[in-house]
Structure 1
Amino acid sequence: MKKMLVLMLTLTMVLAISACGGKAKESTTESTQQPTTKTEEAAATEEEFLPEPGAKLVVWSSGTEKVLVDEAAKAFKEKYGIDVEFQEVGPDKSIERMTTDGPAGVGADVFLAVHDRIGSAVQSGIILPNDYHEEETKANNSDKAIEALTIDNILYGYPNSVETTAVFYNKDLVPEAPKTWDDVIKFAKTFNDPKKQKYAYMWENGNGYWNFGFLGGYGAYVFGKDGSDPSDIGLNNEGGVEAMKFYQSLKNTVLPLKTADITSDIKKSLFTEGKLAMNVSGPWDTISLKEAVKNLGVMEYPTLPNGQPMKPFSGVKAFLVNANTKYPNAAKLFANLITSEEFQIKDFELLGNLPSNKKAAENDKIKNDPFASVFLKQFENSVPMPKIQQMNAFWSVHEATFTSIWNDGVDPKVALDDMVKKMQDSIASSK
């Protein structure tokens, strides 16, 4: 009996060990059939996400950026065999145009836009979220760029570039970049000669985009501290009034011209002719100005009389996918390709645009560039334009407000109070 029990116990143990060994072997076999690294896993997933059969794409962007779209289209064609057609619709007009063209079925599949209109686009339902490439996009791009394209915790765009404004200067006219506005004013007293169209410092002084640096530097804001609260408009706070008093004083000391007499083209022409010493513009002008001005420099904005730096608006340009596209997979793949590290570096090389991609920003060509490095530094000390839909209320009244302060000498507090009241009325009527 004892022998029988020992035999049965031994047989049971053998079977148990055999079963465990079989499971271990089976598990090992299964694991070898799966990707063993994250790279392989991503590659396997990428293979599953393919463009729709017979897809063809239309892309909207500005005329100057056609060269970048063409480069990306060539790479996309080689990879997927899909044709990409370029159409000139600038990022400042694309969302407005897509609002009508998208639902009508005649809008581009992918289009470039500036982040401050994202809220309107989401509200209108004309763009798709960046879902498939979301984690990749977030990991690769600056936090400011990602935040600019996020609404209600949903990422909607594929960041392409970041931009803000700074001050180009002619080193032959201004050997040492002014550090403060006092320095600019002193220089203007010796350089300005309106009869000869000579001016020390020029910006588009009737435009809220270009004037916000004064307001931001004095602590004024558009919609709350993070630009998302339309019930809290701080343009006419104490700091905002002080900012506009200083702004208004510059007509007599630095720039004796009416707002209508200053345009981007006029500034650029005077600057390249050597009649303008300091020209406020953005990185998009770097390449053309380097060709036209022999001894060109760029500096951050001069410090304000309150001892604080100016804080200009900044923007993020992104490629968006039309919610009504027939080829959403192909469109997402193209948007991801043209905003990759490789193409953001190309964008800088071709057009001087600053990358939102973190690795691209660390590329030696960009990091060591004396112009790009200054703009990227100024970008860190900037205020992203509010992206909520109510920002339209600001854009609808900004020119009238600043023109009245500058041209007509209207009291800054009166003008700003009126501006805020009109914005509040516009927001209330749109509900």
Structure 2
Amino acid sequence: MKIRGRIYSVILVLLLVFFVWLRGVQDLQPSQGSNQPSIGTGMQKETLYVWYTDEALTDYMNSMALSYMEAHDNIRIVPTLVSAVEYVESINQATMQEQAMPDLCLISNDSLEKVYLAGLADEITDPEQIVTEENFPQAALHAVTYQDKLLAYPFYYETSLLLYNQTYLDEMAANKIEALKSQQEAGEEVGIEITGGSDLIPKTVDDILNLADAYDAPDGVESILKWDVSDIFYNYFFAGNYMDIGGENGDDASICNIHNENTTACLQMYQSLNQFFSIEAKEADYDTVLQEFIDGRTLFTVVTTDAIARLEAAKADGSLQGEYGMAMLPDVSADLKSRGLSVTNGVIVNGYGHHKEDANAFASYLTGTIGADFYDRTGKLTAHKNVSYENDKPALAMQAYEKSVSLPKIMQVSNFWVQLERTLTGIWEGEDADQALQSLQEQMDVQLQK
């Protein structure tokens, strides 16, 4: 964080502390000239504790708390940064002790079954009726729904996209255009028309392979396609359209479809890419791969939405080599479609809380009045779809989010992602895709007691 940002953060925190202290002092002072308390100071002020685990949200959470308290002088909002380690257990422990228990918690959608069954999340009342299709995509609504109940206010999300070097594609397109002109002048028939680099953005993995065959890479370009093959977030799209764990809301334990003809075909294609691009799973971690892209050493990669802020920072400081572009994840082939993974972070109301009405009101305010400054200040993308950005990348990310599948909520298969990650690593390194998927299917079936 820059020095100016740190100073701003400190000032904001001090203002929040002073504001809460001042409210407390006013509560103890009667108004002058009257035995009655002054307006807004004689009533019992309710304190809402709001827990979150990501430090990047601190400035934003503090500013939203201040603005809300200015309009509601009978409420104190205390945003509280806590450790993400054993987060749900910490919520439960603080709730049982009832001292400074969290009234609201920011939490990922895959934990909703766990917190609901523990009584730590109530069905939201949504007083302003903001959690609707008018404001949020279906992916967000599915993510915060459990057993037909809305358990959270959608806040922000993460999903995956295809990242490409626009400058390299433009150069490649210019060379192709010259070659096509020469063919036309020689009287040859030309079956394709190219106007610029955007025409070369791959729609399928097959397109990437065809482009790689024809691409005369400039100096410094080491990889046509490279991504973190060890992380499920960047691999899931290969088979994601044909896997179903828990149904559309991720909460139906009777649905577990992992091993089928399409997932096998998709992951056989996935395996073949190792022979073409020779990516070592142990060496291609996400941060390294993204840095290689920034350095101009890679043409295509798969990233999550957090990359946008990092790329914009690199563009601003001049370290980004060329212009970058983003696109929807490519389909596996013309016949096999892809579907990426997403995680939605929402705001839950503690089922044991004593101020649920006020908690719902603040959660509605926090997630319903959100704007483009949320991205500017946190580097995260709001799940609210009616937000305009100067940068076109967040709008594209929203399209990917709308198409994505959310992490399931079923506690019995909470280890599914770890097991799927291991399965994909095995397939990447040569294991039989059909047998590996069958083994994973059987394991999950046992866990679900089917």
TM range (shorter): 0.7 to 0.9
* Shift, 1:186, TM fit: 3.6
Q: Distance in 2 between matches of 1:381 and 1:190?
A: 31
Q: 1:98 to 1:275 in 2, by over 3 A?
A: farther
Tell me the SS of whatever aligns to 1:122: helix
Q: Distance in 2 between matches of 1:134 and 1:156?
A: 15
| Higher normalized helix content (fraction of residues) | 1
1:210 to 228, 234, 252: 234
Q: 1:78 to 1:134 in 2, by over 3 A?
A: closer
Q: 1:54 to 1:352 in 2, by over 3 A?
A: closer
Q: 1:136 to 1:226 in 2, by over 3 A?
A: closer
1:354 equivalent in structure 2: 381
Contact 1:192 1:200 in 2 (8 A): no
* Residue 169, structure 1, aligned to residue 168, structure 2: no
1:273 equivalent in structure 2: 295
* Residue 290, structure 1, aligned to residue 316, structure 2: no
Q: 1:399 to 1:239 in 2, by over 3 A?
A: same
Contact 2:159 2:401 in 1 (8 A): yes
Q: Distance in 2 between matches of 1:251 and 1:54?
A: 58
The normalised TM-score by structure 1 is 0.75
Deviation digits for residues 32-80 of structure 1, max 9, x if unmatched? xxxxxxxxxxxxxxxxxxx962415243131222232122122123223
Tell me the SS of whatever aligns to 2:345: strand
* Residue 424, structure 1, aligned to residue 417, structure 2: no
* Shift, 1:397, TM fit: 1.4
Largest Rg, 1 or 2? 1
Pick which of 281-290 and 137-146 moved more.
137-146
Identity in percent: 21
* Shift, 1:171, TM fit: 1.4
Contact 1:200 1:278 in 2 (8 A): yes
Contact 2:266 2:336 in 1 (8 A): no
1:14 equivalent in structure 2: none
* Residue 69, structure 1, aligned to residue 96, structure 2: no
Which structure 2 residue ranges, 5 or more long, are not aligned? 1-42, 171-196, 315-319
Contact 2:143 2:250 in 1 (8 A): no
Q: 1:281 to 1:94 in 2, by over 3 A?
A: farther
Q: Distance in 2 between matches of 1:390 and 1:229?
A: 11
Q: 1:124 to 1:305 in 2, by over 3 A?
A: same
Q: 1:79 to 1:322 in 2, by over 3 A?
A: same
Q: Distance in 2 between matches of 1:169 and 1:374?
A: 14
Deviation digits for residues 255-289 of structure 1, max 9, x if unmatched? x2332322222122212222222231222221221
Pick which of 268-277 and 237-246 moved more.
268-277
2:343 to 315, 320, 331: 315
User: 1:202 is matched by which residue type in structure 2?
Assistant: K
Q: 1:142 to 1:68 in 2, by over 3 A?
A: same
Pick which of 412-421 and 69-78 moved more.
69-78
Q: Distance in 2 between matches of 1:52 and 1:387?
A: 38
Q: Distance in 1 between matches of 2:64 and 2:153?
A: 14
Tell me the SS of whatever aligns to 1:397: helix
Contact 1:69 1:86 in 2 (8 A): no
Q: What are the equivalent positions in structure 2 for 1:161-240 lying under 5 Å apart?
A: 161-175=156-170, 176=197, 177-188=201-212, 198-217=222-241, 219-224=242-247, 227-240=250-263
* Residue 251, structure 1, aligned to residue 274, structure 2: yes
Q: 1:231 to 1:136 in 2, by over 3 A?
A: closer
Q: 1:93 to 1:142 in 2, by over 3 A?
A: farther
Contact 2:143 2:249 in 1 (8 A): no
Contact 2:119 2:350 in 1 (8 A): no
Aligned CA-pair RMSD:
3.0
Q: Distance in 2 between matches of 1:85 and 1:223?
A: 33
Q: 1:324 to 1:199 in 2, by over 3 A?
A: farther
Q: 1:231 to 1:197 in 2, by over 3 A?
A: farther
Q: What are the equivalent positions in structure 2 for 1:328-347 lying under 5 Å apart?
A: 328-341=356-369, 343-347=370-374
Q: Distance in 1 between matches of 2:290 and 2:355?
A: 41
Tell me the SS of whatever aligns to 1:260: coil
Tell me the SS of whatever aligns to 2:306: helix
Pick which of 135-144 and 65-74 moved more.
135-144
Q: What are the equivalent positions in structure 2 for 1:47-66 lying under 5 Å apart?
A: 53-66=45-58
Deviation digits for residues 287-317 of structure 1, max 9, x if unmatched? 2212213512111112322434411122322
* Shift, 1:242, TM fit: 0.8
User: 1:399 is matched by which residue type in structure 2?
Assistant: E
The normalised TM-score by structure 2 is 0.72
User: 2:377 is matched by which residue type in structure 1?
Assistant: L
Q: What are the equivalent positions in structure 2 for 1:326-405 lying under 5 Å apart?
A: 326-341=354-369, 343-358=370-385, 360-361=386-387, 365-366=388-389, 369-405=391-427
* Residue 153, structure 1, aligned to residue 148, structure 2: yes
* Shift, 1:103, TM fit: 3.4
Q: Distance in 2 between matches of 1:400 and 1:147?
A: 27
Q: Distance in 2 between matches of 1:372 and 1:166?
A: 11
2:80 equivalent in structure 1: 86
User: 1:321 is matched by which residue type in structure 2?
Assistant: V
Tell me the SS of whatever aligns to 2:244: coil
